[in-house]
Amino acid sequence: MKKILALLVVAGAATANAAVLDSNPQDFGANFGFGFYSDGDPGYFYSQQMAENFTLSSASNITGANWAGASEFFLFPDYTNMYGFQVMIMADSGGAPGAVLYAEDFATAATSPTLQGQNGLGSNVYAQSATFSSALNNVPAGNYWISIGGLLTSPGDDAWVWADGTNDDGLAYSLTPDSGGWTVFNDGATSGTFEVVGTVVPAPGSLALLGLGALAAGRRRR
């Protein structure tokens, strides 16, 4: 059987809640829960690491990510073989993933897997999220890549499958994550669903206006 593989803090004056900076919405149609195998470590059966491109329209602080995925169901329909997940943010290098800007491993329980249903193979599909232990601050506007991969208890058993997104352009993959380069890939039908979470960094002029506003308010109170 063919296996298919998707604060702002201004001198204490203002606080903005984290928001979605860019995303690839999940496909809840016929391809629900299917995507590409994506490994967080080398040496697994598929030895395939996937990344999705995203764009920051303004300088931002990246504080976490949301995504969805499933087990390939070689043995188990759930995350029995996934002890954790790796999340990486990378710079863009000529249309492919470049230098790693941030990487962190998360225990599976720490990603709060929430059952969404089952895909066509009977595998459980989970929505997940992770908050970075240290924010990636002041990332300039531009193009970037996010990679999410499963960390497997048994390298030859169930692989993790990144659930399909609705925007199927610009996927990258490496058959051997620890050697060789990234290759831009697009099958026109499959991608990885994700949300990059964080806050927008205010422009210097906005900071100045905020400071003046706070000063004026202080004068009025006196």
* pLDDT at residue number 6: 32
Which percentage of the chain shows pLDDT scores above 90?
A: 68
Q: Is residue 7 part of a domain?
A: no
Q: Is residue 31 part of a domain?
A: yes
Domain count, the chain: 1
Q: Is residue 1 part of a domain?
A: no
Tokens representing 59 are: 């300088």
Question: What mean pLDDT do residues 84-97 have?
Answer: 94
The pLDDT tens digits of the residues spanning 18-74 come to 999 999 999 999 999 999 999 999 889 988 899 999 999 999 999 999 999 999 999
Q: Is residue 136 part of a domain?
A: yes
Tell me how crowded residue 74 is: count the other CB atoms within 10 A of its CB: 13
From residue 80, how far is each of 12, 37, 125 by CA, in Å?
44, 16, 13
Q: Is residue 165 part of a domain?
A: yes
Q: Is residue 2 part of a domain?
A: no
Q: Is residue 3 part of a domain?
A: no
Range of the structural domain that residue 169 is part of: 17-221
